[in-house]
Structure 1
Amino acid sequence: MLFSLAAGAILLFAPAAHAQATRIPLSNSNFPISQGVWVGDSLYLSGMMASTFSSPTPGDTKDQTVSAIQQIQKALEAQKLTLGDVVMMHVYLAGDPAKGGKMDFVGFMAGYTQFFGTPAQPNKPARSAMQVAALAAPTGLVEIEVIAVRPK
């Protein structure tokens, strides 16, 4: 009896066949990451920041959130997906100097709710949001990565 239970456990926890990964290169860049990676029907997008983070006026958390989500939207559309296909979102918020170094979660939500949970796009992903010490771009306040799933 013990042997058959152990054999059953081995079968139960045996690794499944690995799905093929298809990488999407960053456009016009030799930076050593992929913009995204397809594994089966799931698309994992690298963290995206506002297109304005390097400008002289990068905007506040709300502005950067809107811009980052627009960047995500473009990347999804290039893969024939929409924001409604996003199932998981990780949000990294840097402390805003204008808020005493604390993350501006209210500003983030003001940008986020323009795209998720609306009458036009009611789907809401699972989500984590956290304050980080800093982002790679010195004036960046928001970086967002998502996982989307191709609808069947």
Structure 2
Amino acid sequence: MNNVRLSKTLLSAGTLALVAATTAMPLVAKAETGIVRHAEGDFPISTSIEVPAGASTIYLSGMGAPVQDKTAPPKSLEAYGDTQTQTLASLQRIEAELKKLNLTMGDVVQMHIYMVADPRTKQLDFAGMMKAYTQYFGTAKQPNLPVRSAFAVAQLANPGWLIEIEVTAVRAPKK
């Protein structure tokens, strides 16, 4: 019995701490949809997102770039392009898939970006990824920022890919 009371007390204290922490964050946007995006600083990602009850969650599989140069050897870096080119092409594919579901990039709430070092430089091209990413997120036309993580990985399924992106989108509840 005492353990139950103690658990309830800890839960209440933890809940209060969480509420205090989230309400202290600057509010980026509360859309008419009820989705609330919080951010800190100038980096173009949200630090947290609140999704209202009744919303549908849509998970898109990871997508890499389609072939950019059909004359290049299959599954080669030359066939797919550099990180910026691949990021832009991957985001275009994601945008097309979302459109099929009557969603937009503004409905994306979470993004995971898996990156491989460019074999020519042995470095991740984070700056190249960001150049493409910021064409879709944090613009005047599309200000909604997802929460996002970027990961360095040893390799991706396609040896020509430098990047693969998966997203989660939300369809707001109908009013």
TM-score scaled by length of structure 1 = 0.72
- The alignment status of 1:44 with 2:44, answered yes or no, reads no
Which residue type is aligned with residue 110 of structure 1?
K
| 8 Å CA contact 1:86, 1:149 repeated in 2 | yes
Task: Pick one of 80, 89, 93 that aligns with 1:58.
Answer: 80
Q: Residue 130 of structure 1: CA displacement? A: 1.2
Which residue type is aligned with residue 152 of structure 2?
Q
SS in 1 for 2:140: coil
Q: Residue 53 of structure 1: CA displacement? A: 6.8
SS in 1 for 2:80: coil
| Structure 1 segment 105-144 matched on structure 2, within 5 A | 105-144=126-165
Q: Which has the higher strand share?
A: 1
Q: Residue 135 of structure 1: CA displacement? A: 0.6
Q: Residue 43 of structure 1: CA displacement? A: 0.3
Gaps of 5+ in 2: 10-54, 73-78
2:98 maps to which residue? Answer: 76
User: For residues 118 and 69 of structure 2, what CA distance do their matches in structure 1 show?
Assistant: 15
Cα deviation digits, residues 27-52 of structure 1 (max 9, x gap): xxxxxxxxxxxxx6000111001012
| 8 Å CA contact 1:48, 1:71 repeated in 2 | yes
Task: Pick one of 90, 93, 113 that aligns with 1:91.
Answer: 113
Distance change (3 Å), C-alpha of 1:43 and 1:4: same
| 8 Å CA contact 1:93, 1:103 repeated in 2 | yes
User: For residues 121 and 3 of structure 1, what CA distance do their matches in structure 2 show?
Assistant: 49
User: For residues 68 and 162 of structure 2, what CA distance do their matches in structure 1 show?
Assistant: 8
Percent identical across equivalent pairs? 47
Distance change (3 Å), C-alpha of 1:106 and 1:148: same
Task: Give 4+ residue runs of structure 1 displaced > 3 Å after superposition.
Answer: 1-6
User: For residues 63 and 4 of structure 1, what CA distance do their matches in structure 2 show?
Assistant: 55
SS in 1 for 2:123: coil
Count of matched residue positions in the alignment of Structure 1 and Structure 2? 122
Aligned-pair RMSD on alpha carbons? 2.3
TM-score scaled by length of structure 2 = 0.63
User: For residues 124 and 172 of structure 2, what CA distance do their matches in structure 1 show?
Assistant: 34
Gaps of 5+ in 1: 10-39
